[in-house]
Structure 1
Amino acid sequence: MATCKSSSQTGLDSWQSRKSLSECLRYSLENKMFTNVTFKVGREQKNVQAHRQILSIRSGVFEAMFYGPLAEQDEIVIPEVEHDIFEQFLRYLYTDDVTMDGASVMGLLYVSKKYDVKTLEQKCLTHLLSSMTSDNVCVILEQAHVFDEEELKEKALTFILENGDATLKSSGVTDLCHECLVKIIQAEELVADEKSVFEAVVAWSERACKKQNKDVTHENRRQVIGEGIMHVRFPLLDHKYFAKKVPPTNMLTDKEIIKIFTHCACPDENVSPFNANKRTGVIREDKIIIQRFAGLHGGFSCLNNKDHGIMFSVNQDASLLGFQLYGPCERTTANYDVRAFITDPTTDDVIEGSSVTTSVSVAAGTTTYDVEFPRPLKVSKDKKCNLIVNIDGPDSHWGYPGRSTVQNGSFVCSFFKCQKSKHGNKLNLCTDVNQGQIPGLMFLV
């Protein structure tokens, strides 16, 4: 009688022999070995084969689908999940291994909720909480709203309010639903220029018309935004900007425009239902200017092939509004092109939202002038930062001697020699704690 010899008896390795459990499962999935269910996935309904028993062990939803009283057939159609997302999902079910990024995390969150895989769902939420940026946070907020994830929704909303200007200028703002948009633009804590709020509302209304298959007309834009338009604080806009930019959109009626103009001319006039109060997230009275130098000198060259820099840290959490630069030596009006950014000394990464490029006309006799970042930047207690500034223009004043520690009440700012950054030019040799440009830093504390 013939006998069947095992692979160990014949001296040959089987595909299973040197693999762990997860490696065997992954191999069987990728090579479609012993599969007994087929999914038709995505808009193109691509075939994906798997094993009923393994899926049922990992998901109660799959268990009900395959072994419950209403068990489904051999082919299951899932058109709303992209093919690559579903394959990543299956790989996690077989191996507990998943690699997610900004492009895949939302799809994985959806499919993990659809099939009630809590461990993957939590991984997705953790990834989203730790990877918010001004470019993706609106999408995260909207998904948190759809999935009713309150913690994620709260964190995303807080991030948006603290980074209002950058977020409202991102393309993601047009993906928000009406409810989420209104929640942002009505918030007192929103840190944003009112111009950014208005322009975001205009962009959102145009996209909303297209989503609803409506012509992008003035009437339809006002109709889709509805009473949300009242949360734009039009009385706070620069008067020239309001006159040039707002009426042409026809987002406001003639009566509303006249009411706002009347209030601008006569602030005592009632402007209701519009809000003329500054947002608490923008207006702060505790502005502190830290002055580095005790003396002033002239003849400092401002050449765009050299950078000026200083490293600093503060003794408490604060927001950095911007910095000061010295004006021209000659008593004539001077024009300067300024480019600046802040880096993390430990990684040399440019801190998001810290880049500013501007042209400044400085009046004759001006000792210093201010340059502000697009939004106040959060600065953590005892965290060192490199401020790097490139200035192109006439010779300027410069400061000496410098102070390594400057105190304003309980607020203390310490200065250190700047570290060279790969993102800029060679640092000017005269830029140090003791002498150079960048005479002041402006904080909100």
Structure 2
Amino acid sequence: MAQSPTKPSDSALVQGSPSCLPAALSGLIDNPQFSDVTFVVGKRRQVIHAHRCILASRCKVFHGMFLNQLKEKKSSEELQVPFVLADMNPDVFLAVLEFLYTNSVTLNSVITLEVLTSAVEYGLDDLRKLCVEFITKTLTVELACEALQAAVTYGQTDLRQKCLAYIERFTMEIIKTQSFRELSDLGLLSILQSNRLTIDEVPLIHAVREWAHVSSVVLDLPVPRIAVDVVKELRLFLLSLEELTKLENENLQDELIPESQIAQAWKFHALKKVSDLPAHQCHRRKGTLVREHHRYLEPYSK
């Protein structure tokens, strides 16, 4: 009696060249041929073509968008209505599509922060990681605060730490940038809480005052209200008597710093005691110039 052929007892995944599929799929990006969904992107209403099956399989947000559309629309004509993304940069959206189609992305300093924002909003964690890696490798004095602000806004702890380390290294240059003056109060707080800033307290206070005046104009709010939380991180105990006197005179113009906070610094100079002083306000930063009275701040001043 003839025996039936034996069935293979095991199997193996045999892979082809890993570059072939992404290369092929990249040709589908914004290609109207065989596309079944369109997006109208940006203020100039640029039309971008895509493929539902790819977007839905790679991104839960798109999967949900298309599923809802199927539930709400009944005719094939209604399904052809484009999605409007009026507030999105077309180049940013194309970068997101590039990642969805090929698992790679072409980044540059102009679009990367916006791509990071989109990655967070679309739940694309691998794209987020690629953006963070690119940003940290290409940080500049001009972009450091802008990147820090994005990290604070979107809760990106790893990017926040790397941006802060860069800001600590180049503090003097960074406080002169427009992006520093455009920080939110939370963004600025994350900088002022650092002990490793390479700057003395006097120019740092001047930079904070300039930030407060710019923010006051933009938000149409009084300077003291704008800076109510920020000024708590200024270390007035590090200032000499002469510097404190000058600060008090400057403060008469805008009331940036509460009188009670300045009074605490005067009290310290009078008593030369560190009791009841907030520990972090007595700590010298990395760039703090040494003054004679700092010996009374020990051990906080080191």
Query: Is the TM value for this pair above 0.5?
Result: yes
Q: CA deviation at 1:106?
A: 0.9
Distance 1:123 1:101 in 2: 12
Map of 2:284 onto structure 1? 279
Map of 2:152 onto structure 1? 145
- The aligned runs of 1:218-237 (5 Å cut-off) are 220-234=222-236, 236-237=238-239
Q: Which amino acid aligns with 1:38?
A: T
Q: Which amino acid aligns with 1:157?
A: L
Q: Which amino acid aligns with 1:251?
A: E
Q: 1:205 to 1:187 in 2, by over 3 A?
A: same
Identity %: 22
Map of 2:164 onto structure 1? 157
| Alpha carbons 2:92, 2:115 under 8 Å: kept | yes
- Structure 2 unaligned regions, length at least 5: 1-19, 74-78, 291-302
Map of 2:65 onto structure 1? 65
Q: 1:96 to 1:275 in 2, by over 3 A?
A: closer
Distance 2:262 2:103 in 1: 63
Once the two structures are superposed, residues 162-216 of structure 1 have per-residue CA deviations (whole angstroms, 9 ceiling, x without a partner) of 43322222222123221231232233333211122112212221232233234xx
Map of 1:193 onto structure 2? 200
Map of 1:251 onto structure 2? 255
Q: 1:49 to 1:196 in 2, by over 3 A?
A: same
Distance 2:186 2:289 in 1: 28
- Structure 1 unaligned regions, length at least 5: 1-19, 215-219, 286-445
Q: Which amino acid aligns with 1:246?
A: E
> What RMSD, in angstroms, separates the aligned Cα atoms of the two structures?
3.5
| 1:177 and 2:184 aligned | yes
* SS state at 1:40 partner: strand
Once the two structures are superposed, residues 281-315 of structure 1 have per-residue CA deviations (whole angstroms, 9 ceiling, x without a partner) of 23599xxxxxxxxxxxxxxxxxxxxxxxxxxxxxx
Q: Which amino acid aligns with 2:131?
A: C
Distance 2:116 2:177 in 1: 23
| Alpha carbons 2:227, 2:256 under 8 Å: kept | no
Q: 1:276 to 1:176 in 2, by over 3 A?
A: closer
Distance 2:31 2:263 in 1: 71
Map of 1:206 onto structure 2? 213
Map of 1:76 onto structure 2? 83
Q: CA deviation at 1:249?
A: 3.9
| 1:268 and 2:272 aligned | yes
* SS state at 1:47 partner: strand
Q: 1:61 to 1:265 in 2, by over 3 A?
A: closer
Map of 2:130 onto structure 1? 123
Q: Which amino acid aligns with 1:233?
A: R
Q: Which amino acid aligns with 1:46?
A: Q
More strand by share: 1
Map of 2:34 onto structure 1? 34
More helix by share: 2
Distance 1:228 1:274 in 2: 17
Q: Which amino acid aligns with 1:282?
A: G
- The aligned runs of 1:29-428 (5 Å cut-off) are 29-67=29-67, 70=71, 73=79, 74-214=81-221, 220-234=222-236, 236-237=238-239, 239=242, 243=246, 246-247=250-251, 249-252=253-256, 255=259, 259=263, 266=270, 268=272, 277=282, 279-282=284-287
Q: CA deviation at 1:85?
A: 1.0
Distance 2:104 2:279 in 1: 52
Q: 1:43 to 1:206 in 2, by over 3 A?
A: farther
Q: CA deviation at 1:66?
A: 1.6
* SS state at 1:29 partner: coil
Distance 1:257 1:121 in 2: 41
* SS state at 1:77 partner: strand
| Alpha carbons 1:231, 1:274 under 8 Å: kept | no
Distance 2:128 2:229 in 1: 36
Which one has the largest radius of gyration?
1
- The aligned runs of 1:5-20 (5 Å cut-off) are none
